Each structure stands twice: as C-alpha cells, then as structure tokens.
Structure 1
Amino acid sequence: MGFSIEGKTAIVTGAANGVGLAIARHFVDKGANVMLADMDEPRLHKECGKTDDDGNMRYFAGDLRERLTMANLLSATLDAFDRVDVLINGSRQMLPSDPLDIEDDTVPQLLEQNLMTSLRMSQLVAKRMIKQAKDQTEGQVGSIINLSSIAARRTHPELLGYSVSCAALDQMTRSMAVALAPERIRVNAVAFGSVMSASLKDTLKEHTSYRSDIEDHTPLGRIAAPRDLAETVQFLSCDGAGFVTGQILTVDGGRTLLDPVAAPAH
C-alpha cells in the first residue's frame, strides 16, 4: 500500500494561508491533484499564481457556508480532475469569547464556521465518493480529514466558542466515521496546538514572551512547523492508513500531556 498520495485528488478548504495552504502545497509536491478552496480570492491568486489547465493544482474562491458554493466547489473539482479521493476540512476560525456576555454570539458563529461547514462538505463529498466507486469492490473509497485543535480538550474561557466548536467537530468525526465505514470511507481528525504560521509569527513579534511560554509547556521543546501537520494529513490520506478511522490524532509535541491549568492559552 505505502504512503504515497500521488495521483489522488484532494480538496483542501481554508487553503489561502496557514496550515491549509501548507497542506495543499505539500500535496501538490507529492503528486496529488489539489483544489485549493477559500473565500479569500486575492490571497488564493497570490499563492497559486497562474494555474495550468494541465497541472495538478487549481483554486476555487467562495464562501463555503453557502450550500450552493459547496456544490460549485465540487463541480469545479470534478471538471478539473474527474474525481475526488480526499477531503481536508481546514476552513476554521478562532475568535475570542466572553462567557458571561449574553449578547456574545461567537459560539453559534464558530459552530457554523468550524462545525457545520465541515459537516455539510463531508456529506456532499462522501456522496460523490460513493457514486464514483460503485464498481469498486475492494480498497478504500475515500478519506475525510478534519482539522481540529487541542482546544477541544483544554479549558480556556476566553476561547469558549472555539473550544466548543472543536469539541463538536471531534465528535462529528467519530460519528461520521461509523456512518461511512460501510462505504469504506475513512473519517479522521488532526488536533494540533501552536503552529508556526504567518499569523503566529506576527503574534510572537508583538508578544516576544509567548514563544518561551509555548516551548516550555511543550515536551518536545518547539513550536510545530506547518510541515509537521501536512505530513500527518498525508498519512491519514494514503492507503497505508487504510485501517485508521474515527481517530483524533493529536499533533502537539506532547503539550496536552502536561497540566492544562498551568499552560498558556496561545
């Protein structure tokens, strides 16, 4: 089986920057056909440049909270590559919450963005995977990977909405894994902590003490590189992980093994 993803077709949402972009680039480098999706069209165009109709990378811009946009994304992927084998739900948002403010609407907002978008996209793509594999009698039919966070298991009141949405996403992952197992579609999630993305780099410039805080609370003693996440997602996408489903794979350098009360929020 091996760990190659060459020739597979993947949709990566939230792909205009950060972890989503790193995963998309990694998949392209490994020979997969990749559709990058995000609502930030200028950033997508900047990162992807002029795509070649014969190449293995395309991009699609739109608000994936809209069902029609999701359908158009799938159609664009099929027009470009004829099929879809992997869905990476990386469209996510983090906003601060005030747990005592009754007017604070971040919980429903983040549930819609981080949970419902991933659920609806998974349902849509799973139906396509089942349809395209109707004559396939063995082997995996598809892989769905949700990008989650260790915030789902930690208690930071100022991240109430984000934590709740990630916890819900983890449970959705398990439920969908059981529901889609008879169709030979695997569903997993990757829960990560701090990743050295462009936004975190900016934060560390403004708050220089944060780096040592994070590293001191991480047994492996460093902040994750985007490649750490990309390679984990590659593993979950490949045939070599064909018996792995319903798992929340934590990639945090051991951070959640330490006392969460003493650990920083960032």
Structure 2
Amino acid sequence: MSFSIEGKTAIVTGAANGVGQAIARHFANQGANVMLADMDEASLTKECERVEEDGNIKYFAGDLRERLTMANLLSATLDAYDRVDILVNGSRQVLSSDPLDPEDETLEVMLQQNLTNAFRLSQMVAKRMIKQSEGQTEGQVGAIVNLSSIAARRTHPNLLAYSVSCAALDQMTRSMAVALAPNRIRVNALAFGSVMSASLKDVLKDNRDYRGLIEAHTPLGRIAAPRELTETVQFLASDAAGFITGQVMTVDGGRTLLDPVAAPVH
C-alpha cells in the first residue's frame, strides 16, 4: 500500500510556523496540493514565496474562530483545486493557567482554539468530502488528522486548561471517527511530546533550564524537530493507513514511558 499523497488536496491549519508549517511544506514536496491557513498573513506569504512556484501551494489568512472564515477557507480551497481530500487541524495554542483563579479564562480560550475550531472545520470539510464522493463506492473518501499532545495524558499544575483541551480533542477524534466511518472518512490524531515549535522556542528564551528538564525526562534525550512529525502525519493521511481510524498515535521520544508528575509536558 502506498504512502503517496501525490495529487491529493490538503488543508493545513496553523501553517504559518512550527509544526503546521513543516507539515504543509512536506505535503507540497510530496506532490499534494496544499492550502496553508493561519492568521499570520506575513508568514504565510513568506512561506509560499520560498517554496518553488509550481501551482501546488496557496495560502488563506483569517481568524478560524469565525465560522464564516472557515467557510471562506473551504471555498478558497475549492476555487483553487476543486476538491479537498485531507484536513490537518494543526492550529493549536499552549497557554499556562492558574487552576485556583476563578477569574482565569484560559480554559475557555484553550477549548476554543484547540477543540472547537477543529471540530467546526472538520464538520464543514467532511460534508464537502461526502458530497464530492457521490457515486464513489469504494476507497478512501477523506482523511482528517488532528494535532494533539501527550499533555492529554500527563499532569502539570500550570497546564490544566491546555491538558483538558487536548484530552477533549482526543475524544473528539474517536467520536468523529465512529460518526464518519460509514462515509469512509478516517479521523486520527497525532499526540506529540516536546517539538521545537514556535511556542516552545519562546518558552526556552525565557527559561534556559527548561530545555534541560525536557531532555532529562525524554528517554531519547532531545527535543524533536517539526519535520520529525511530518511523515507520520503523511502516513495517517495516506491510503497506507486505510484501516486505521479513531487512533491517537504518540510521537514523544518515549516521554510517556516515564511518570514524574511535574515533568514538562509542552
């Protein structure tokens, strides 16, 4: 079975930097048509300019917290490529929170950014996948991959809101996989440990000791580069994973094999 995604059309959110950008770039290099989506238009423009211009990569800038913006993203993708086969929900945010502060609204923010946006966009894209597959009696109709975190299964006092949002995303992945299975749309998630994302780079600038803590609690002893996740996402999106749905695949350098409660889960 082929890992190829050549000729497929993919929407990748959170594609202006970090993991989302690495996935979008990899997909384009593998011959997929890719629509990069993010709020950071300047970074999107720069990314599209650096990729060789061959017509298979475009961008859409907008606030995906708005349903109209999501609809416009889908319309822009259809205008450019006439279909959508893969959705990677890569737009995510990591914020610390105070679990004892009743005025702290981080939980609401994390649920919106890391759960609700992915859910609403998945609904819209899945409906389009079903519509464009009319008359297709076999084969994969579409694939959705959600980017999650091992924080869903770990415990850190200052990341309660983030951890809850990731746990909810994992459950959404399983529930949506069952709901969309009759339509031959697969839904999986990738839960990763510490990856050198834009947000982690910011954390490391402010706390030099944090990197040592992460490496000490990771059996492979290092922080992953964003590109190390891209081929796993490609596998989940490809026909090679045709009998895999509702799974949360862990890529964490072995972090979840250890059990220190206060270890970094970023």
TM class by shorter-chain length? over 0.9
Identify the residue that residue 149 of structure 2 maps to in structure 1. 149
Deviation, structure 1 residue 129: 0.3
C-alpha distance in 1, partners of 2:88/2:170?
14
Identify the residue that residue 123 of structure 1 maps to in structure 2. 123
Identify the residue that residue 179 of structure 1 maps to in structure 2. 179
Deviation, structure 1 residue 214: 1.4
> 3-state SS of the aligned residue for 2:7?
coil
Identify the residue that residue 238 of structure 1 maps to in structure 2. 238
1:183-222 to 2 correspondence within 5 Å? 183-222=183-222
Contact 1:10 1:86 in 2 (8 A): yes
Matched, 1:19 2:19: yes
Identify the residue that residue 107 of structure 2 maps to in structure 1. 107
Q: Identity, % of aligned pairs?
A: 78
Deviation, structure 1 residue 211: 2.4
Deviation, structure 1 residue 53: 8.4
Deviation, structure 1 residue 143: 0.2
Deviation, structure 1 residue 265: 4.3
Identify the residue that residue 254 of structure 1 maps to in structure 2. 254
Contact 2:148 2:192 in 1 (8 A): yes
Equivalent position amino acid for 1:59 in 2: Y
Q: TM-score, normalised by structure 1?
A: 0.95
> 3-state SS of the aligned residue for 2:178?
helix
Aligned pair count? Answer: 266
Contact 1:14 1:37 in 2 (8 A): yes
Contact 1:51 1:58 in 2 (8 A): no
Deviation, structure 1 residue 220: 1.7
Contact 2:96 2:158 in 1 (8 A): yes
Identify the residue that residue 69 of structure 1 maps to in structure 2. 69
More displaced stretch, 41-50 vs 223-232: 41-50
C-alpha distance in 1, partners of 2:262/2:59?
42
Counterparts in 2 of 1:164 and 1:208: CA distance versus 1, 3 Å: same
Unaligned segments of structure 1, at least 5 residues:
none
Offset from partner CA, 1:58-88 (integer Å, 9 cap, x none): 0000011101100000000001011100000
More displaced stretch, 73-82 vs 205-214: 205-214
Give the RMSD, CA atoms, in angstroms. Answer: 1.6
Equivalent position amino acid for 1:234 in 2: Q
Matched, 1:91 2:87: no
Q: TM-score, normalised by structure 2?
A: 0.95
Deviation, structure 1 residue 51: 8.2
Unaligned segments of structure 2, at least 5 residues:
none
> 3-state SS of the aligned residue for 1:166?
helix
